[in-house]
A and B are shown apart, each in its own frame.
Chain A
Amino acid sequence: MTKSTNIVEFKHVQKSYDGEELVVKDLNLDVERGEFLTLLGPSGSGKTTVLMMLAGFEVPTHGELLLNGKPINSVPPHKRGIGMVFQNYALFPHMTVGENLRFPLDVRKISRAEADKKVQKALDMVRLGDFGNRRPAQLSGGQQQRVAVARALVFDPELVLMDEPLGALDKNLREEMQFEIKHIHETLGVSVVYVTHDQSEALTMSNRIAVFDQGIIQQLASPSDLYERPDNAFVAYFIGENNRLRGRVKEHSGESCTVELENQGGSIKALNVNTGGQGSPTTLSLRPERVSVNPENGEVPNVFEAEVQELIYLGDHIRTRVKVCGNDEFIIKIPNAHGHAVIKKGESVRIGWAMEDCRALDA
C-alpha cells in the first residue's frame, strides 16, 4: 500500500457555528507528509476552527476531511491519533509530568517497561529529563510548554497540531521555543499544522504558510514567496511592513503596467500581479527596504521628490517617514551602513524604486 504524499486533505470544507455566518468558507488545503504548515491570520479568522475540525472537536458543516487518504469526518477525536498542543498547555494538574506523558501510553495499553522508556526519551528530547516527578504547577511557563510538546509527541503520532503554543511566553523564550520546536520537527519528521497570528513566528518556522482571512485562504506559499511575492493586498499588508499606494491602472503590457495614483500623485511603473486590467482600481505594495535614496540617474524607472517628515533611529537602520506622491505615511528603511545617506527632517530628498519591487495588487 502506497501512502499518499498528503497526510491531510481538506475538500471543500465549510463550517458555521450559528447557521448564519460561515466561519470557514470552502477550504481546500493539502498538508504534505513531514511538512511544517502554518495557519496564519488575524484574530477571528477561523484558524482554531480549522484545527478543531482536524482534531475532531468540531464537525465540518459541509465538505470532507481526509487523513492519510481516508475520510475522518465521523472518526471520534481519540481514534484519530493526532497529537495536539493547546495554547494553555492543558497539562493535567493532578498528575506529575511523568504521569502526564504516560497518559497517552496508558490508554493505548502499552507495557510498563516500554512506556517508561518512551516517557524518558520524550522528556530528554525537550531537555526535562529530571523533571518527571514534578507537578505542572511547579514548572515555569517555558517548561510547561515543553512538557506539552513532549506529551503530544510521546505516542509517536504522524501529525501534530499546535494552536498558538507560544502565545503565553515572553519574547526571548518564544524565540528559543520556536527554534526548539522546529528542531524537533526536523529530527522526528512528523507533520505539523501550526496556528499563530504572529507573522515572524510563521516566517521563521514554516515550510509553507496559509494566510487566513475571513474564513478563506488568501495565499498558500513558502515564507519567502509570501514576503516577496504577495498575491493580494491583504497578504502584502499582513506580512511584514509595506507601503501602500492607491490608484488606477492606466495601461498594461505583459508583466508591467502603469498606474495613475489618486489625488494627482503621479504615475508609477509597477509589476502587474493581480489587477482587473485597464481602468481598474489597484493597490500598489512596496517594501520599505526596497526604496533607494538618491538613486543614480536611469537606475530605476520610478523616481520622486520626497519630503522628510520623521526620522526614527533604530540602531541597525533608520526608519524614515516621508511624504511622497501625496502620501505622508510612506516609510523608508535606510540601513545604518558605512557612508549611508545623511538626511534631515524637513529636507527634500530624491527616492526611487524598481518596477519589479512595486506590485500592483487588488484594490
Chain B
Amino acid sequence: MAQAEATLPASGSASTGAPSTALTTADGTPLKVSIRRAMRRNKLLAFGLTLPLLLFITFSFLMPIFEMTFNSVDNRPVANTLHRSAAALQSWDGQGLPSEAVYAAMAEDLKQAAEERSIGRVATRLNYQESGMRSVMMGSARMIERHEPPWKEALIDINAAWGEGSTWRLIKRESGAITFSYYLNAVDMTYADDGSIVAQPEWRQIYVKLFWRTAWMSILITALCLVLGFPIAYLLANLPSRHANLLMILVLLPFWTSLLVRTSSWIVMLQNEGVLNDLMVWIGVISDDGRIQMVYNRIGTLVAMTQILLPFMILPLYSVMKGISPSYMRAARSLGANPLVAFWRVYVPQTLAGVGAGGILVFILAIGYYITPALVGGQSGQLISNYIAYHMQQSLNWGLAASIGTILLAGVMVLYLIYNRLVGIDKMKLG
C-alpha cells in the first residue's frame, strides 16, 4: 500500500509535463537505472554459473602455463645462493682473474651454501652449462671450512678450476635472477666462453632435429588423417541414417577404449612376431627371416597416432559436411559439371572450414603427443614431448623441459594465429 502511494507524486509530476526528458518507471527511478538493476542479476547469475569452470581453468591450465614459462627462465637458486659473489663480480671486467674480494665473497657463499645444503642445486645448474662444474662446486663447498684466507690461494688450492678465467666468466654469466641458457639449450645453442652465442658441439645437438621431426611427423599424421578421414566423413554425412549411425559408432569406438589398450594392440599387430608379419609370411609376400620392422620406430608412431587421432579429423569434417545441402552438387551437375568437377569445385571448397578445423586439431594434438610415441616409437619414433617428459622425470632438468614446452606452446600459438588469419577461427566447427 505504502509503495503504491509513494508512486503517486512521481506519476503526477510526469503528467504535469515536467521538462525532464529522462524516462522513469512508475516509482520514479530512471528507466536506465532500473534496466541495469534488472540486468545485473542476470549477469551475476551467468557469472556464477561459469565460475567453477573459470576457477578450474585458472588453477589447472593458466597457472601451470605461467609456472612453466617462469621455470624456463628462473635462475633464483643460483642468484640467491651466490649473491655475494654475483655482486662482487659486477665490477670485474672479465679479463684475467678477479680480485681477492671476489674470491672472499665466493668463499662466504660456499660456506653458507654448505651449511644450508643449497649447493647441490647450484652445482647441478652450473653443470648443465659446463660439465665438471658440479664437482668443482660440491668439492669446494665441502672443503672450504678447512681453509684460511687469503681465499684466492685457498680456492685455487682446493680446485684448479678457480684459477681459470672461464670459470669466473661462467659464474658471472649465470648468476643473474633470470637466464636464457635453457632456451639456448633447447635450440641446440650455448654461450661460448666469451659470452657469444654459438652452436652446441655436434654430438650434443638433438632438439632442433627433434623439433623438425615432430613437426614433420605431425604434418604427415595430419595429412594421413585427412586422406583417410575425408571419405569416411563424406559417407557419414551422406549415408542413410541407419547405416550412418553404425559407421559413427565405429568411428567413436576408439574413444571408448583406453588409449593404452589401443596403443598396445598396435604392438601386437605390428611387431616382428605380430599379426601383420605372420599374415604376410603365411601368404608368402615376405620370407620368414625377412619380417618387416614396423613397430618401435617411426612407422609405429605414424600408424598408431594416425589411428588414434583419426576421429579428431572425422568429426569436424562430418559436422561441416552434414551442413552441405545435396542440392549444391545437383545444381553443379545440372549446370553441366561432371561428377568429378562438381565435387572438386563445389563440394570440396565448402568443406575447407572442416579441413582446417580438423587439420589444426590433429596437428596440435600430434605435436604434443606423448604416450603413443613413448610406447611404440622406439628410438627413431620419439617426439619432442618424450624429451620434455624425460627432462621432467629422469634428468630433472625442469628448466630445459619448461623451455622446450614453452617453445612448443609458442609454435602452436603462431599456428593458431596463421589459421585465424587465413580461415577465421569463428568458422572452426567441431563435432
Contacts A82-B334, A104-B335, A155-B335 aside, 4 further interface pairs with beta carbons under 8 A come to: A90-B328, A90-B330, A107-B341, A152-B335
Contact string against A for B residues 312-354, beta-carbon threshold 8 Å, 1 for contact and 0 otherwise: 0000000000000101101111111111011001100110100
Contact call A155/B336, Cβ cutoff below 8 A: yes
A80 nearest CB neighbor, chain B only: B334
Contact call A78/B328, Cβ cutoff below 8 A: no
Is A237 among interface residues, defined by CB-CB distance under 8 A? no
Q: A90-B325, A94-B350 are in contact. Are A84 and B337 (CB under 8 A)?
A: no
Contact call A78/B331, Cβ cutoff below 8 A: no
Is A304 among interface residues, defined by CB-CB distance under 8 A? no
Q: Which of B327, B338, B349 contacts A78 (CB 8 A)?
A: B338
Q: A94-B349, A103-B345, A107-B341 are in contact. Are A78 and B333 (CB under 8 A)?
A: yes
Q: Which of B328, B336, B349, B352 contacts A107 (CB 8 A)?
A: B336
Distance A82 CA – B333 CA, assembled complex (angstroms): 10
Distance to closest chain A CB from B394 (angstroms): 51
Q: A92-B346, A94-B349, A103-B345 are in contact. Are A86 and B331 (CB under 8 A)?
A: yes
Contact call A55/B334, Cβ cutoff below 8 A: yes
Contact call A103/B327, Cβ cutoff below 8 A: no
Q: Which of B325, B337, B338 contacts A103 (CB 8 A)?
A: B337
Contact string against B for A residues 83-112, beta-carbon threshold 8 Å, 1 for contact and 0 otherwise: 110101011111000000001100110000
Distance A83 CA – B342 CA, assembled complex (angstroms): 15
B337 nearest CB neighbor, chain A only: A107
Distance A78 CA – B327 CA, assembled complex (angstroms): 14
Give A contacts to B, CB under 8 Å: 55-57, 76-84, 86, 88, 90-94, 103-104, 107-108, 151-152, 155
Chain A residues, CB < 8 A from B352:
94
Q: Which of A86, A88, A104 contacts B336 (CB 8 A)?
A: A104
Contact call A78/B336, Cβ cutoff below 8 A: yes
A sample of 22 cross-chain residue pairs with beta-carbon separation below 8 angstroms, ordered by A number, consists of A55-B330, A56-B334, A57-B330, A76-B333, A77-B334, A78-B333, A78-B335, A78-B342, A82-B334, A83-B334, A83-B335, A86-B330, A90-B327, A90-B330, A91-B331, A92-B332, A93-B350, A103-B335, A104-B336, A104-B337, A107-B337, A108-B336
Distance A57 CA – B339 CA, assembled complex (angstroms): 12
Chain A residues, CB < 8 A from B349:
94
Give the A-B pair count, Cβ closer than 8 A.
68
Distance to closest chain A CB from B332 (angstroms): 7
Chain B residues, CB < 8 A from A80:
334
Distance A103 CA – B344 CA, assembled complex (angstroms): 13
Give B contacts to A, CB under 8 Å: 325, 327-328, 330-339, 341-342, 345-346, 349-350, 352
Chain A residues, CB < 8 A from B328:
90, 92
Chain A residues, CB < 8 A from B335:
78, 83-84, 103-104, 107, 151-152, 155
Distance to closest chain B CB from A287 (angstroms): 39
Contact call A84/B334, Cβ cutoff below 8 A: yes
Distance to closest chain B CB from A257 (angstroms): 49
Q: Shortest 9 CB-CB distances between A and B: which pairs?
A: A90-B331, A104-B335, A84-B334, A90-B327, A77-B333, A94-B349, A107-B337, A107-B336, A78-B333
Distance to closest chain B CB from A361 (angstroms): 39
Distance A55 CA – B326 CA, assembled complex (angstroms): 15
Distance to closest chain A CB from B56 (angstroms): 38
Scoring B331, B338, B346 by chain A CB atoms within 10 A of each residue's CB, the highest score goes to B331
Chain B residues, CB < 8 A from A91:
331
Distance A213 CA – B259 CA, assembled complex (angstroms): 58
Chain B residues, CB < 8 A from A93:
350
Chain B residues, CB < 8 A from A104:
335-337
Distance A107 CA – B340 CA, assembled complex (angstroms): 11
Distance to closest chain A CB from B286 (angstroms): 45
Distance to closest chain B CB from A308 (angstroms): 49
Contact call A88/B325, Cβ cutoff below 8 A: yes
B333 nearest CB neighbor, chain A only: A77
Chain A residues, CB < 8 A from B350:
92-94
Distance A152 CA – B331 CA, assembled complex (angstroms): 9
Chain B residues, CB < 8 A from A152:
334-335
Distance to closest chain B CB from A47 (angstroms): 16
Contact call A78/B325, Cβ cutoff below 8 A: no
Contact call B327/A86, Cβ cutoff below 8 A: yes
B353 nearest CB neighbor, chain A only: A94
Chain B residues, CB < 8 A from A86:
327, 330-331
Contact call B337/A78, Cβ cutoff below 8 A: yes
Chain B residues, CB < 8 A from A90:
325, 327-328, 330-331
Chain A residues, CB < 8 A from B334:
55-56, 77-78, 80, 82-84, 152
Distance A152 CA – B332 CA, assembled complex (angstroms): 10
B328 nearest CB neighbor, chain A only: A90
B346 nearest CB neighbor, chain A only: A92
Distance to closest chain A CB from B16 (angstroms): 44
Chain B residues, CB < 8 A from A56:
333-334
Chain A residues, CB < 8 A from B338:
76, 78, 107
Distance A79 CA – B338 CA, assembled complex (angstroms): 8
A151 nearest CB neighbor, chain B only: B335
Distance A79 CA – B341 CA, assembled complex (angstroms): 13
Distance A93 CA – B350 CA, assembled complex (angstroms): 8
Scoring B328, B333, B335 by chain A CB atoms within 10 A of each residue's CB, the highest score goes to B335
